[in-house]
Structure 1
């Protein structure tokens, strides 16, 4: 393959890697100035059966279209091309000059909390982006995270498009007919539901949590044992970590997916609440967490949400910040491993909350009454100002009649002008087809086509815009223009 010219354009110059799912090459684009470097992923199907090739072609095209959508993110490689030659499949992607995160996580090397927090702050927004585009990475691990040398940012690579086709080629004809699923992923970083071939968005959150645990403990996921009763990962005693951060990571790696964060932005809000504890952003994240659960999970009545907010508002005991963990020596879960000596770490986060269901919100319970009181006070002040306005003097009957006619004409003109401006401001144009989500942020299966004029309500949430027409629900804001053309 070295030296071959693929698609009359891409000159293969070096083998980058190979495995059970195909080969990856470094190539040069001979049709662009300077012959820039790119990455070519090559898959040769295990069978030449015509029926399989047709299905593989469809899967390959679908995955390529998904990668095309994701290329709009700065920390995801752009898809440059995909093509088929001699019943073999090829993907061409942007080359990322950097090193794998696994080089920074050598065995026995422990990260401090600030490094792990920075990792979560960088990767969670990327996961939120790909999940909002209905894509699941399915193979998140240190080897598939690249530290880009130009700006030191982390970049997600290897979204498994080639793996999807390769795994299908390994299925028996009976499995293909039944449309059975085969797991894609790496043991240790792969959640239980993903191992059964049914990945979910928070399967990626599980994998990221395992990477965080690997950073804190210096142990690979395979070295960590599971609780024989619950199946939960046993890791806490091997890391020097504050309780709030440990509670977040523990929730990321819960065995049963329903007990994890359902979405990446939820985990990001929880992280914000412990790293910026005395800011309006953190208080807003606390309230947003309860409201989001009300909208997404659907309580029986609004009283449930009110009760949750009341719980947050109750005063609670906050332990002093002078608790430090002593230096300890722990045994590795594997008998073949030597003892692990954990030295104290200067943690930027105080362990001042417990890992309850809303544990990361405990420190904001005292702030919520102040926020509510401040809001009520603002309403009273505005009402007082309005009430204090002096009453206008009674004009004469003739003057009143003339003023009434003038006011009626002016009101009609102002109303028409206001309605026209409001209609224009509330209207946006969809520039690219966008999936429609329901008011509870669940997928509806409907698509708002490009060029459609939609009416927005003014509500925004995590990049999504709420619309009231032609359908009620939420669409992705980056796929719209600000206003409709004037009539």
Structure 2
């Protein structure tokens, strides 16, 4: 892999392959500083052999879709940038941004997600899908393997946009993508398996991905009703009824019963606060300040942390209101009076004792 592709790109290692495509980790040797990139290679020779009369059209489609995908990627930082695309003999190459991060699939091998984490994941990715759908793009293959949690900010990045392969798939000369079909099929709605592509299919796949994140189970590990297509997943996760209802609607067997758009699903998701949001609203200042300080001062004792998070208590200790001053004045006056009274009584007692002891002393003198 030492030779350069297109006199510019060095292939570092192979990341996977399909029937007529391969994916590599590569390096752009002409960038100001060497940068890593994802390089996809598509074999076109098979298309020439299977449908030679359609090859010129397919070539035009590839170039057009690559240009469109490049434009799409430049408008949203949660879609990998398309740096370059070109032809080389019987091969078509696509060069994309390399996302440093961890796939959602790898993260789920370690632990399941909480409801709050899934809500954030959904909100973020629904915004990406709204943007893509508004530009007439479908992802077609959303699943934990195609979501990368970027190291820099932990934002989910939607990788492996397969729109470029749309017309190649129509010609039946290329696979869906590099992921095993046994895993990918469970995240796809039934209408997608017969070639019907609508925005609702992306929402179905995202809903199934959210359920996998909550339950730790892949779609084929969940029970379903064969007569209705309903998937029984709720017993494997304890979440709010609101989020469960949102996910149930997203994964309806009939696409007409799902959300009609990413925006509609996002609006429904955000129509009610998270279960713990009401608690945070009761004392927002205290909760927010404790959260901020707990990261920077975890070694402080609880009393120090509490005083740091309640400025009002500090103010009350240093600047007392008038009522407090009057109270302290009365207490001080009372203490002085008590001391005076005690002193007087002691003096009287001493004199009395002296008077009683004098006759006794005099009678005992020689």
TM-score (norm 2): 0.68
3-state SS, counterpart of residue 273 of structure 1: coil
Q: 1:121 to 1:4 in 2, by over 3 A?
A: same
1:164 Cα deviation from its structure 2 partner:
3.6
**Are the equivalent residues in 2 in contact too, given 1:4–1:11 (CA < 8 A)?**
yes
Distance 2:60 2:219 in 1: 35
Larger Rg: 2
Distance 2:227 2:102 in 1: 39
1:51 Cα deviation from its structure 2 partner:
2.5
| 2:23 aligned residue | 24
Distance 2:170 2:3 in 1: 27
Distance 2:220 2:70 in 1: 34
| 1:363 aligned residue | none
**Are the equivalent residues in 2 in contact too, given 1:245–1:274 (CA < 8 A)?**
no
| 1:48 aligned residue | 48
**Are the equivalent residues in 2 in contact too, given 1:252–1:261 (CA < 8 A)?**
yes
| 1:6 aligned residue | 5
- Which of residues 73, 82, 104 in structure 2 aligns to 1:79? 82
Between Structure 1 and Structure 2, how many residues are aligned?
Answer: 269
Q: After TM superposition, which residue ranges in structure 1, 4 or more long, deviate above 6 angstroms?
A: 182-185
Distance 1:39 1:266 in 2: 33
- Which of residues 113, 121, 137 in structure 1 aligns to 2:115? 113
> Once superposed, what is the RMSD of the aligned Cα atoms?
2.3
| 1:343 aligned residue | none
| 2:303 aligned residue | none
| 1:202 aligned residue | 200
3-state SS, counterpart of residue 251 of structure 1: helix
1:368-388 superposed Cα distances (whole Å, 9 cap, x missing partner): xxxxxxxxxxxxxxxxxxxxx
| 1:258 aligned residue | 256
Aligned pairs for 1:238-249 within 5 A: 238-249=236-247
**Are the equivalent residues in 2 in contact too, given 1:274–1:349 (CA < 8 A)?**
no
Distance 2:36 2:69 in 1: 19
3-state SS, counterpart of residue 95 of structure 2: strand
Gapped regions of structure 2 (runs ≥ 5): 279-366
1:419-473 superposed Cα distances (whole Å, 9 cap, x missing partner): xxxxxxxxxxxxxxxxxxxxxxxxxxxxxxxxxxxxxxxxxxxxxxxxxxxxxxx
1:44 Cα deviation from its structure 2 partner:
1.1
| 1:432 aligned residue | none
1:197-228 superposed Cα distances (whole Å, 9 cap, x missing partner): 01111110000000111111111011122212
Distance 2:193 2:105 in 1: 22
Q: 1:129 to 1:234 in 2, by over 3 A?
A: same
**Are the equivalent residues in 2 in contact too, given 1:53–1:87 (CA < 8 A)?**
no
| 2:103 aligned residue | 100
Distance 1:263 1:157 in 2: 20
| 1:143 aligned residue | 145
1:87 Cα deviation from its structure 2 partner:
1.4
1:56 Cα deviation from its structure 2 partner:
2.6
Distance 1:215 1:47 in 2: 38
1:254 Cα deviation from its structure 2 partner:
0.5
**Are the equivalent residues in 1 in contact too, given 2:25–2:36 (CA < 8 A)?**
yes
Distance 2:155 2:173 in 1: 38
Distance 2:173 2:35 in 1: 38
| 2:339 aligned residue | none
1:95 Cα deviation from its structure 2 partner:
1.2
3-state SS, counterpart of residue 106 of structure 1: helix
Q: 1:47 to 1:228 in 2, by over 3 A?
A: closer
Gapped regions of structure 1 (runs ≥ 5): 173-181, 277-346, 351-487
| 1:70 aligned residue | 72
3-state SS, counterpart of residue 11 of structure 1: strand
Distance 1:227 1:75 in 2: 36
1:140 Cα deviation from its structure 2 partner:
0.6
Q: Which has the higher helix share?
A: 2
Distance 1:87 1:275 in 2: 54
1:162 Cα deviation from its structure 2 partner:
5.5
Aligned pairs for 1:355-394 within 5 A: none
Aligned pairs for 1:170-209 within 5 A: 170=172, 186-209=184-207
1:117 Cα deviation from its structure 2 partner:
0.7
Q: 1:82 to 1:207 in 2, by over 3 A?
A: same
